[in-house]
Chain A
Amino acid sequence: MLLWFLPLFLVLIMIGLPVVFALLASPFALIMLEGDNRNVVAGLYRNLYNGMDSFPLMALPFFMLAGEIMNRGGITLRLVEFAQAFMGHLRGGLAHVNILSSMLFAGLSGSAVADTSAIGSTMIPAMEKNGYTRKFAAAITAASSVIGPIIPPSGIMIIYAYVMGESVASLFLAGIVPVIMVGVGLMVVVRLRADRYDLSKA
């Protein structure tokens, strides 16, 4: 019967049930159908609690708090200004600034969504004003914000390390090289497109 867990879970997710409820509803349904003789459902509930009751996971709220404090303190704009001073003189400067800001901001937030909303709201209007197409500005913001979860410190890596029993420090260390490759790769593409579409400097 539990063979049906994965299909049921996927179906529930696809029809739009929030993931946490899909994770609970599919085993609940299957176990109840089977006859819950050994009170496995109570075990599931206790596992839900034990998942929350974890010291390593405490890093996440602290991480968000630190990111939020730095963000409210106006560091996002300063990061963009720093990136501008660093990369702005290049052809296609604003796109480079966007990528570098994303890489720097990822160090604060560790989340792709927070990165997109913080950098995107500042950079996309500025890029549009400077003659970039809306599509290109959105694409470069989205592509560069995936750096967020890879660059250390990253929320998703803490969860992975917790679930798999890996070392958080090793995972963070392992994130550095890929993130530089992604960042440099994006910058090379921007540079090539800048020549082709005659993008302006910042």
Chain B
Amino acid sequence: MSVLFGLLWPLERFNTAVLAIGRVIAVIALAIMVALILGQVFFRYVLSDAPNWTEEGARFGMLWMTGLMAPLAYRMGGFVSIDMLERALPRVISAVLTLILLIIMLWVLVIAWERGLNNHVDTLSGRGCSSSLRWPFGIEIGKCGAKFQNNFQYASLWVGVNILILVNIELMIRQVIKLLGQGDRLNPLSAEDFAGAD
């Protein structure tokens, strides 16, 4: 049991820190989205001359916001599912079922991780350059120069999958601890800021 708690402690700390940072970035991304879209509306309808990159920029923000917030939602149990069966079953069988579900989810995530890296982020299209997004102030990076590399947005989902895997492993360890009857020693995963998100 102490081995499990020993494994859980660093992972829990790490996930909490990463998710907190991700949350801040996601909030900033949302703020940028709002600013860009408001700017676009102003330019289009007041000045009749909208810049072509605001839509792409806002979508960039949304992709990263989604990628970084999905693991947080997952950790708080925010993914839509039907929990009728889990509730109806006796405690031990229900805990075993949850563990099996977590294993299936880990399997899906590991496949997504591998295909996401090799068949999406690190591909010809991923290494290609964005048609409209450019670095500001004449900054030039890598072979795309002033343009954004497509990877920068493709990576959002893949980074999300990475954090989801970490969260999934944490949830699996927690589930095993619960199954062994030590669930009351676990720190509760706070959901106070998460209410009403759906």
Whole-angstrom CA separation of A162 from B147 in the bound complex: 29
**A14→B65 CA distance, assembly (Å):** 30
Q: How far in angstroms is the closest Cβ of chain A from B94? A: 9
B85 within 8 A of A: yes
Knowing A17-B101, A65-B30 touch, does A113 contact B63 (C-beta < 8 A)? no
Task: Report yes or no: A62 in contact with B34, Cβ–Cβ below 8 A.
Answer: yes
Instruction: Check A114 for interface membership: any CB of B closer than 8 A.
Output: yes
Taken together as a complex, chains A and B put the C-alpha atoms of A52 and B60 apart, in Å, by 10
Q: Is there contact, CB below 8 Å, between A55 and B79? A: no
Q: Shortest beta-carbon distance, A175 to chain B, in Å?
A: 20
* Pair B111/A28 contact, Cβ less than 8 Å: yes
* A46–B125 CA distance with the chains assembled, in angstroms: 11
Q: Are B119 and A39 in contact (CB under 8 A)?
A: yes
Dominant secondary structure at the A interface: helix
- Would you call A15 an interface residue if the criterion is a C-beta within 8 Å of the partner chain's C-beta atoms? yes
Asked if B170 lies at the interface with its beta carbon under 8 angstroms from chain A, I say no
CA distance A58 to B98 in the complex (A): 33
Specify the main secondary structure of chain B where it touches its partner: helix
Which of B30, B55, B104 meets A55, CB within 8 Å?
A: B55
From A17, A39, A58, B59 is in contact (CB under 8 Å) with A58
The answer on a CB contact under 8 Å between A58 and B58 is yes
Stretch at the interface among A19-27, A88-96, A188-196: A19-27
The answer to whether B196 and A114 touch across the interface, beta carbons within 8 angstroms, is yes
Chain B contributes a number of interface residues (CB within 8 A of A) equal to: 42
Shortest CB-to-CB span from B72 to chain A, Å, is 14
Kindly report which residue of chain B lies nearest to residue A114, judged by CB atoms: B196
Known A-B contacts A16-B81, A16-B101, A61-B30; the reply to A21 vs B108 at CB < 8 A is: yes
A111-129 toward B: CB 8 Å interface, digit per residue (1/0)? 1011001100000000000
Alpha-carbon separation in the docked complex, A91 to B119 (Å) = 64
Kindly state whether residue B97 has any CB partner on chain A within 8 Å.
yes
Count how many chain A residues have C-beta atoms less than 8 Å from C-beta atoms of the other chain: 38
Which residues of B are in contact with A by a Cβ distance under 8 Å? 30, 33-34, 37, 55, 58-59, 62-63, 65-66, 74, 79-86, 97-98, 101, 104-105, 107-108, 111-112, 115-116, 118-120, 153-154, 156-157, 195-198
Could you write out 30 A-B pairs with CB less than 8 Å apart?
A12-B104, A15-B97, A16-B82, A16-B84, A16-B85, A17-B105, A18-B80, A20-B79, A21-B104, A21-B105, A24-B112, A25-B104, A25-B105, A25-B107, A25-B108, A28-B107, A28-B111, A39-B115, A41-B115, A45-B112, A45-B119, A49-B120, A49-B157, A53-B153, A55-B59, A58-B62, A61-B65, A62-B37, A64-B197, A114-B198
